[in-house]
Every structure is written in structure tokens, then in C-alpha cells.
């Protein structure tokens, strides 16, 4: 598939309304067979600095554009994404590997944030607060200023629109550095942003050395906010780098999601829920089930039912409509999954279905292992691949303790038909998000984010724009 023929294809950076190439480049390859797709610019430090200065100039105009005009432009952008949904998804599948049906779904999901914030643009209400003194307390909500974003490869479109749409709606300009594995989806989306009428300098996409760009973004005084989605390790590093300039931060970091399946669960619903949360994007999502805890009375039946579903998954080229699981993003990702499987089997877990032995390329066969325990690597680390480890538990207190025994706190899932238990467990889980009787929780209307080492801040929902706004307290004195 030659994606360079698609009208939305672009391999240059978007800076201040201009498409910029550079002598030095980064290669982009297809994770399916490692074939070369194209090259994108490896921008110099001076070019990144200049992009920030240009964005700051655009910022002075954009913050004064009327909210309903910002809303109209965002709506145009949403419409264009949906009109080009198939082409954008094809680019995503070729550079990222996920099945086309999932890529099509991600474009709709990414677009839904633009639609949501096109509506929220008109609703950044301030406040008037009653005061005991002879004064009036007013609260203005104002755009924070120039923002920067650094995004991962696993959701090459949605992780960008979740940041850019609220920033633009709030009156902020933004510079995005997409993951080096998946810059083409970002650049295609940027091409549509230009067509939608987003003015020059308001939304910029730069590519290059992540370390250098990260250093410039975090140190630069003109950048008032950094929003990062990626690993906890890099998020913590960027947080430390941002300290000297006291930047506002949003961090969407790693997860280690538990799934709690209680005896009262509807078994087929729980099995489907685990399939949805575990194997989407070949297990490479931050909200993926990482540990599956099943209560003892239903344990064997649950494992048998899940086995049937896992065996039916088809591995292959994401562009093939039959494919359920594409290649992983790179060899390093495959090695990590293999390490987790080997560690579990070495420490006494048993293989139910899948292959523990090495495969060539970026392939990883969906694998189900039972009798997993808390001392195994997969209980502690995010696997980020198609490996489903099943643990057995006896009591609610025991499974809550095991579920919370992690530095992470992003997503969690519970399957139960007991209403009181659902409330108790939802309260007891130390996570930013809890799915009850579902494996699919992402929604533009909901506040997405984590606690503990899974991050700071929320994306989406009525709270999402606050991440890009500052409150200004205005005291009107002596009014009597």
C-alpha cells in the first residue's frame, strides 16, 4: 500500500502555517515488515526555538478570537477528519500496525474530542463569588498561553486531539511532537487542520530528537504548559526538567490495569470485557488489562471460555479485514512480552493457549497463562502486549489488596452482579477510572486520567478545558 498517494499524506512539519522539510531526517517504517515508508524532518534546535517564538506571536491573536469562531473552526476540523476517516486510518495502520477496523475506530474517537471541545469552547464560564466584605469577587478564566505536547505511538491520532482540541478551544496555541514511530498520522491530521481554517502558528507539528525537543519544551519560558502522554519513566523526567520554569503539567502515563471477576459476574460478559480491554491494539493500550483476577468458584470455567476466544484471534497484516491482532510496534516490545511470559512459566504458571517461543519480526502470538501469582513480573510491570495472565482469588478484601499493590493507578475493571459489591469495590480501587461490567471506558465526555504514578490531570469531559485555562481572581473593592 503506497500511502504517499493519499491526499492527506504529508511528511513535512507544520510550523507557523508552512510545511517545513530539513536536510537531516528520521526514517519511518512499517512494523509489519520493517519496510521503509518515508522520512520526516529531524529539525535542528534553532528550528524548534523559532517555532516556539512564532507560536507565541500567534498566541496573542488566537486568545482574542471569539469563542464561537474557535468553535466553528474546530467543528470544520472534526468534519474533515470524519470525511477522511478511511485514508487517515490507512496511514495509521501502515505506520503503527493496528488492524484497519481499529484504526477507523480510533479516527472517530480522535475526532470526537474535537467535536466535544468545539462545543466546550463556548462554555469556559468564570464566576462571581459572594463576599462578606464590601467587595465583589470575580473569577475570569483565561487561556494559559503557548502549550507543548509530546505524544506516544499507540494512539497516534487520539492522543493528539485529546490535547490539541481543548487547548485550541481554550484559546491556547500548541506545538506537538508526535512519537517518531508514528508521525504520519499527526501530519495528516495537521494537513486537515490547515484546510479547516486553523490559523498559521496556532497548531504546529515538529519532528526530531525527542531528548532535544523535550529539553527545549521544558526549559523554554514562552511555553506555559506541557501535556505529555507516554511512559511513567519519561513523564517523571519531563516533570523534573519542567521544575525550573514551574510549568503547568498534564501527564497521562503508564498503567497496570487489574480486572476483577467475581463469582456473581455474568461469565460471557466478563469474558468479552476481558477480550475488549486486553487485546485491542494487540494489548498496547495504557488501559489494557494487565492482571486478570478471577474468583475461585468460576475460575476454571472462565479460563476455558477465554481460551476459546483467544484461540480464535487472527494475527496478520492490519490492512487485511480478517485481522484481529497486528504486529507489535517494534522488536523491543516483543521482547518485553516474551520476558513476561517466560518469567510467569518459570515461576510456576501454566500455559493455556499461545506460544511462548520466539517468533521472527514484530509478531507476538496472543497468549493465555493461568495460576499466575503476585511475585511474577507481569504483576508488577506493564506488559503492553497480547499476554493475558490469570490469577485466582478467594475474597473481596484479598483481591482489592492485590489490585492496589502497584505504583500505577490508571484504569481498572470489575465484573459483578452484586450492587453493594460494585459500590464497595469501585470505592476501594485506587485508580482514576473504574469500568463496571465493561472493558471499554474511553469517551470524550468522560474525564480520562490516572492517580499515583499514572499521572496528573484529566483529558476530555467538562473538566478537560481547565487544564488549558488559568483562573484570574479580580477583586472589585469599595462597591458600597
Catalytic site positions = 252, 286
DSSP 86-142: HHHHHHHHHHH---HHHHHHHHHHHHHHHHHHHHHTT----EEE--SSSSEEEEEEE
Give the three cell numbers for residue 369.
497463562
Pick the closest to residue 244 from 221, 263, 260, 267 (CA basis): 221
Residue 201 or 208 with smaller CB distance to ligand NAP? 208
CA–CA gap between residue 12 and residue 18 (Å, rounded): 9
Comparison of 146 and 294: residue with beta carbon closer to ligand NAP: 146
Closest CA to 386 of 275, 305, 306: 275
Confirm if 463 and 448 have CB atoms less than 8 A apart.
Answer: no
At its nearest, how many Å lie between ligand NAP and the CB of residue 234? 4
Query: 69: which residues sit within 8 A by CB, 6+ positions away?
Result: none
Compute the least distance from the CB of residue 83 to ligand NAP, in Å.
Answer: 26
In 280-418, which ranges are continuous DSSP H helix? 299-311, 331-346, 377-380, 396-404
The minimum distance between CB 177 and ligand NAP, in angstroms, equals: 6
Give the three-class secondary structure for 348: coil
Q: Which is nearer to ligand NAP, 155 or 293 (CB)?
A: 155
Question: What are the respective helix, strand and coil percentages of the chain, to the nearest 5?
Answer: 40, 20, 35
CA dist 186 → 81, 102, 179, 205, 400 (Å): 12, 17, 9, 7, 39
- In the bound state with ligand NAP, the residue whose beta carbon lies nearer, of 251 and 261, is 251
CB 16 within 8 A of CB 43: no
Nearer to ligand NAP, 217 or 415 (CB): 217
User: β-strands 433-436, 387-393: how paired?
Assistant: unpaired
User: Taking the complex as a whole, how short is the minimal distance between the CB of residue 218 and ligand NAP, in angstroms?
Assistant: 8
Task: Give the nearest distance from C-beta 365 to ligand NAP in angstroms.
Answer: 21
Non-local CB neighbours of 478 within 8 Å, separated by 6+ positions: 134, 135
d(CA 4, CA 207): 18
Cα 372 to Cα 351: distance, rounded to the nearest angstrom: 10
Beta-bridge mates of residue 451: 409
Kindly tell me which of 34 and 211 has the beta carbon lying closer to ligand NAP: 211
Minimum gap (Å) between residue 453 Cβ and ligand NAP? 10
CB-wise, 150 or 260, nearer to ligand NAP?
A: 150
Toward ligand NAP, which CB reaches closer, 179 or 425? 179
Which residues are at the interface with ligand NAP (CB under 6 A)?
150-155, 159, 177, 179-181, 210-211, 214, 229-231, 234, 237-238, 252-255, 286, 382, 410, 450, 455
Q: Give the count of beta carbons closer than 10 Å to the beta carbon of residue 357.
A: 8
CB of 151: closest distance to ligand NAP in angstroms? 6
Beta bridge partners of 128: 138
- Using CB atoms, what's the residue nearest to ligand NAP? 214
Nearest approach, Cβ of 388 to ligand NAP (angstroms)?
17
Helix axes 45-62, 210-219, angle to 10 degrees: 40
Amino acid at each position: 500500500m503506497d500511502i504517499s498517494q493519499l491526499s492527506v499524506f504529508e511528511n513535512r512539519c507544520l510550523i507557523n502555517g508552512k510545511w517545513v522539510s530539513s536536510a537531516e531526517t528520521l526514517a519511518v517504517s512499517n512494523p509489519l515488515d520493517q519496510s521503509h515508508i518515508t522520512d520526516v524532518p529531524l529539525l535542528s534546535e534553532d528550528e524548534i526555538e523559532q517555532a516556539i517564538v512564532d507560536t507565541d506571536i500567534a498566541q496573542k491573536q488566537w486568545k482574542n478570537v471569539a469563542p464561537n469562531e474557535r468553535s466553528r473552526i474546530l467543528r470544520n476540523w472534526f468534519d474533515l477528519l470524519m470525511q477522511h476517516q478511511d485514508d487517515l486510518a490507512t496511514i495509521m495502520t501502515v505506520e503503527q500496525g493496528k488492524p484497519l477496523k481499529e484504526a477507523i475506530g480510533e479516527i472517530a474517537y480522535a475526532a470526537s474530542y474535537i467535536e466535544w471541545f468545539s462545543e466546550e469552547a463556548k462554555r469556559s464560564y468564570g464566576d462571581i463569588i459572594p463576599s462578606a466584605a464590601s467587595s465583589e469577587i470575580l473569577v475570569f478564566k483565561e487561556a494559559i498561553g503557548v502549550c507543548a505536547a509530546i505524544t506516544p505511538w499507540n494512539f497516534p491520532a487520539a492522543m493528539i486531539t485529546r490535547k490539541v482540541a481543548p487547548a485550541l478551544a481554550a484559546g491556547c496555541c500548541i506545538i506537538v511532537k508526535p512519537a517518531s514511530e508514528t508521525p504520519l498520522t499527526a501530519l495528516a491530521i495537521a494537513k486537515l487542520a490547515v484546510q479547516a481554517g486553523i490559523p498559521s502558528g496556532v497548531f504546529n507539528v515538529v519532528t526530531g530528537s525527542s531528548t532535544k525537543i523535550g529539553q527545549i519544551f521544558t526549559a523554554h519560558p514562552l511555553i506555559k504548559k506541557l501535556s505529555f502522554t507516554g511512559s511513567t519513566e519519561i513523564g517523571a523526567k519531563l516533570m523534573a526538567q519542567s521544575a525550573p520554569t514551574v510549568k503547568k503539567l498534564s501527564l497521562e502515563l503508564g498503567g497496570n490495569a487489574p480486572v476483577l471477576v467475581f463469582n456473581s459476574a455474568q461469565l460471557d460478559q466478563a469474558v468479552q470485557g476481558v477480550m475488549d480491554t486486553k487485546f485491542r491494539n494487540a494489548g498496547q493500550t495504557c488501559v489494557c488489562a494487565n492482571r486478570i483476577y478471577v474468583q475461585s468458584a468460576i475460575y476454571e470455567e472462565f479460563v476455558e471460555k477465554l481460551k476459546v476466544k483467544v484461540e480464535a484471534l487472527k494475527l496478520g497484516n492490519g490492512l487485511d479485514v480478517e485481522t484481529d491482532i497486528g504486529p507489535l510496534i517494534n522488536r523491543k516490545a516483543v521482547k518485553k512480552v516474551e520476558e513476561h511470559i517466560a518469567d510467569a512459566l518459570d515461576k510456576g504458571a501454566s500455559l493455556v493457549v499461545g506460544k511462548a517461543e520466539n517468533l521472527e519480526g514484530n509478531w507476538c502470538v496472543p497468549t493465555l497463562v493461568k495460576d499466575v501469582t503476585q511475585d511474577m513480573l507481569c504483576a508488577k510491570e506493564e506488559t503492553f502486549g497480547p499476554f493475558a495472565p490469570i490469577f485466582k482469588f478467594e475474597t473481596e478484601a484479598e483481591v482489592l489488596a492485590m489490585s492496589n499493590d502497584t505504583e500505577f493507578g490508571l484504569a481498572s475493571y470489575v465484573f459483578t452482579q452484586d450492587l453493594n459489591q460494585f459500590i464497595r469495590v469501585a470505592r476501594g480501587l485506587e485508580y482514576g477510572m473504574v469500568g463496571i461490567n465493561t472493558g471499554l471506558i474511553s469517551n470524550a465526555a468522560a474525564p480520562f486520567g490516572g492517580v499515583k504514578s499514572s499521572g496528573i490531570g484529566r483529558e476530555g469531559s467538562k473538566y478537560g478545558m481547565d487544564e488549558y485555562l488559568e483562573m484570574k481572581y479580580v477583586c472589585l473593592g469599595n462597591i458600597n
